[in-house]
Chain A
Amino acid sequence: MEKQQEYWGSQPAWYFFLAAMGAMMFVIAAVTDLVGNPIAGQINGWVSIVSLVAAGVGALLLLEELTHKTKGHLVNARPFASVMSFGSLIQSLYMPLVFIYGTFFFSFIPWAGLGWLKTIVAVLAIIAALLYVTYPGVELGEAKGRGFWNGGGLIGVFLINGTATGAAALILVLCIFGYGEDAYTVTIKNVLAALLVAQLFAIPGYVLGMKLSSAEEARRGANKLWSGEFSSAFWGGVVIFGTIVPMIVSLLFSSVYWLVMAAVLVFIGGVSFRIDFLRAAVRVILPGEEKDEMSSKEIAKLANALETRWQEKASCLNPQK
């Protein structure tokens, strides 16, 4: 019986986390700019760069996971037929748009003063960013034999967590650039607290929904998080330290020290959430799989042991060779 989803490890989870964090941080900052908040002029250039770096690092992690890295460009081959290709295409649009948007905030760039052009780029980049954050939920939902990912709320849960991590990242950027005590930072802190409240209901709610699902494999996956082998990571990492503690901190405290701590905890929760949701989605059990089977690693270990033993016997029987 499959103990966990064993093909995709932590690298895709980190990619999903970095992509969502960077993109939603960008969305919040770009919306701040569109509504005319002057602080956008101070930070949005750097926010764009951080978003770009996060997306780039995430993409490199995914590329590293491929067995044929030099053929990575083929992932764009079917943009309107495969969700993964669509995501790759969106990433290819999102990253240059974010870069171009960021250039408007550096005075040495010739087009820095073209506000109308910046607005158009911002709107396009926001649309690309939102698609970039939501496509993993659609992608995972394609796995028909992994009921844990087939819940309609998965995209919403990903979006809420992505927005929370994006707000946390924005708070970090604001603190780094000396705006920790600014009124805008307080607003983002309150937004983060509200998002964490939503996350507190959304994530355990999704798992509970899957626990009560009619699909057996969805129940099995949910039980792994609710009370099974991943429960300590889920309740400790995602719910308590990733949601409740930063929520309380952001509601009760305003100092930079506490804000930074809350943001880091939200990051930990975000990474744990992606890793837990990826590994908990076990496959439907096939007839005969109820019995524990040897894993591929165990088979390889046994094969090596047999090969070694055969070599020993061969050298004993034919010492000349």
Chain B
Amino acid sequence: MHWGMLIDLRKCVGCYACTVACQNENELPFGMQYCKVSKVGPIGDYPNLTSYNIPIGCMHCEDAPCVDGCPTGASYHREDGIVAIDPDKCVGCQFCMVVCPYGVRQMNEKTGAVEKCSMCFTRLEEGMVTRCVETCQLQARHVGDLDDPDSEIVKLIRKNNAQPLYSHLGTKPSIYYIMP
């Protein structure tokens, strides 16, 4: 079992519904976002211009620098592939924030612990999908088992040649993107 996510950038319209739903789900303070949506472009040369939106959250890397670098074991890999944080073990050294190539980790000033997307593992354990997948009206997001070759997410990844972001960094992310 290895949870992963597929985001179809052809469908994402940048409505920020996933960002807000995530903030509600995790009761985040103002200004904290586990799932940012960035606007890319316009890129290219006239008349061949394109513009798209890209949601970026924790990539739940298999070879996660944050997990390797965490001195206390607060950042850890669950058996289902999700990178999680144990807030009781986090001392706030921020090394994970320094080494994360995607810049998705944030310090919660109230708790003094580093936080990030947990891929709603409690919801997944209860048989539900993540809050962002549930919220996305355009069904641009899919969550599923990357280890199961017959799962919908794996079929979509193969069919659309979806790729993780910056795979050359060697962190083996579990979040795939269908590029526009």
List residues of chain A with CB under 8 Å of any chain B CB.
2, 5, 7-8, 62, 65-69, 71-72, 74-78, 81-85, 88, 139, 142-146, 283-284, 286-289, 291, 296, 299-300, 303
Q: Flag if A81 contacts B102 (CB, 8 Å).
A: no
Within 8 A of A (CB), among B122-179: 165-166, 169-171
A residues less than 8 Å from B112 (CB atoms): 67-68
> Which listed residue (B56, B68, B74) contacts A286, Cβ 8 A?
B56
Chain A to chain B contacts (Cβ below 8 Å), 7 pairs: A7-B97, A71-B72, A142-B68, A144-B101, A145-B102, A284-B166, A296-B31
Interface majority SS on A: helix, strand, loop or mixed?
loop
Q: Verify if B81 is at the interface (C-beta below 8 Å from A).
A: no
Q: Flag if A75 contacts B71 (CB, 8 Å).
A: yes
Number of cross-chain contacts by CB at 8 Å:
117
Within the complex, what minimum Cβ distance (angstroms) separates B44 from chain A? Answer: 14
Within 8 A of A (CB), among B16-48: 30-31, 38-40
Q: Verify if B2 is at the interface (C-beta below 8 Å from A).
A: no
Within the complex, what minimum Cβ distance (angstroms) separates A218 from chain B? Answer: 13
Taking each of B38, B53, B74, B98, which has the highest tally of chain A beta carbons within 10 Å of its own beta carbon?
B98
> Which listed residue (A8, A299, A300) contacts B98, Cβ 8 A?
A8
Q: Flag if A286 contacts B94 (CB, 8 Å).
A: no
> Which listed residue (A71, A75, A145) contacts B101, Cβ 8 A?
A145
Q: Flag if B91 contacts A75 (CB, 8 Å).
A: yes
A residues less than 8 Å from B90 (CB atoms): 68
CA distance A8 to B171 in the complex (A): 22
CA distance A78 to B94 in the complex (A): 16
Q: Flag if B65 contacts A142 (CB, 8 Å).
A: yes
A residues less than 8 Å from B72 (CB atoms): 71, 74-75, 77-78, 85
Q: Flag if B95 contacts A84 (CB, 8 Å).
A: yes
Q: Quick one: closest B residue to A284, CB to CB?
A: B101
Q: Flag if A286 contacts B71 (CB, 8 Å).
A: no
Within the complex, what minimum Cβ distance (angstroms) separates A85 from chain B? Answer: 4
Q: Flag if B91 contacts A72 (CB, 8 Å).
A: yes
Q: Flag if B94 contacts A7 (CB, 8 Å).
A: yes
Q: Flag if A300 contacts B69 (CB, 8 Å).
A: no
Q: Considering the complex of A and B, which 5 residue pairs feature the smallest CB-CB distances, nearest first?
A: A145-B101, A288-B38, A67-B92, A67-B112, A84-B71
Q: Quick one: closest A residue to B39, CB to CB?
A: A288
Chain B window 38-76, contacts with chain A (Cβ cutoff 8 Å), 1 for yes, 0 for no:
111000000000000110100000000100111111100
A residues less than 8 Å from B31 (CB atoms): 296, 299-300, 303
Q: Flag if B93 contacts A288 (CB, 8 Å).
A: no
CA distance A284 to B103 in the complex (A): 9
Q: Flag if A144 contacts B93 (CB, 8 Å).
A: no
Q: Flag if A78 contacts B71 (CB, 8 Å).
A: yes
CA distance A283 to B74 in the complex (A): 23
Q: Flag if B93 contacts A286 (CB, 8 Å).
A: no
CA distance A139 to B71 in the complex (A): 11
CA distance A68 to B74 in the complex (A): 13
Q: Flag if A286 contacts B91 (CB, 8 Å).
A: no
Q: Flag if A67 contacts B113 (CB, 8 Å).
A: yes
Q: Flag if B93 contacts A75 (CB, 8 Å).
A: yes
Given contacts A2-B103, A142-B99, A145-B101, contact A71 B91 (CB under 8 A): yes
> Which listed residue (B65, B91, B92, B103) contacts A144, Cβ 8 A?
B65
